[in-house]
């Protein structure tokens, strides 16, 4: 299934050309056009899902296997020093393209001036802890 006006559906299914690093029956992995660092890649399922919540379990599981495979080739080939795997859901979380995707962002020593995947740590309150534990009980 694909969404008619979704650019990542078109890229994933080959209707719009892309720099493709890897492709299989279910996924295409492309180079991000606005890379955070050298090697920044995006894992796109060929089937449309707006976000993680909509992604079928089977594809969610396979996406991580693809991430491992591609991250390993990038790591060995680029000799990068680290790798962030980022996946944004919803505008407040930074999602700008509403077709599920995972970012693979190779990290290099000293790159934190222009690559930031970070937050200011808060403090876990007792009230929040109890509320959150309650969600799963
Ligand atoms: P997000 O903010 O998580 O939704 O990420 C969207 C990513 O897609 C950004 O890093 C963009 O640079 C990238 N992007 C948007 N359009 C294209 C495109 N046509 N080809 C490759 N990357 C794209
Ligand atoms: Zn789509």
Check if 94 has its Cβ closer than 6 Å to any atom of ligand 1. yes
CA distance 44 to 15: 14
If the chain, 137 residues long, is cut into consecutive pieces of 10 residues, what is the mean pLDDT of each piece? 86 98 98 98 98 98 98 98 98 98 98 96 98 98
pTM: 0.97
Bridge-partner residues for 44, per DSSP? 28
Check if 88 has its Cβ closer than 6 Å to any atom of ligand 1. yes
Class of domain 7-120: alpha beta
Q: Residue ranges of the domains in the chain? A: 7-120
Q: 30 vs 14, 15, 72, 104, CA distance in Å? A: 11, 14, 15, 10
Query: Ligand 1: which of 13, 34, 43 to mutate, most ligand atoms within 8 Å of CB?
Result: 34
Check if 34 has its Cβ closer than 6 Å to any atom of ligand 1. yes
SS3 content of the chain, % helix, strand, coil (to 5): 35, 20, 45
| 48 carries an active-site annotation | no
* Rg of the chain on CA atoms, in Å: 17
């Amino acid at each position: 299934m694909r969404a008619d006006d979704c650019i990542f559906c078109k890229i994933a299914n080959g209707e719009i050309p892309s720099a493709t690093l890897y492709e299989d029956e279910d996924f295409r992995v492309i180079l991000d056009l606005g890379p955070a660092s050298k090697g920044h890649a995006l894992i796109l399922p060929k089937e449309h899902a707006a976000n993680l919540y909509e992604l079928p379990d089977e594809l969610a599981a396979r996406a991580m296997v693809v991430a491992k495979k591609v991250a390993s080739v990038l790591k060995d080939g680029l000799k990068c020093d680290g790798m962030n795997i980022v996946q944004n859901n919803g505008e407040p979380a930074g999602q700008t393209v509403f077709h599920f995707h995972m970012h693979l962002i190779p990290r290099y020593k000293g790159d934190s001036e222009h690559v930031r995947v970070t937050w200011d740590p808060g403090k876990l309150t007792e009230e929040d802890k109890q509320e959150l534990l309650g969600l799963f009980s």
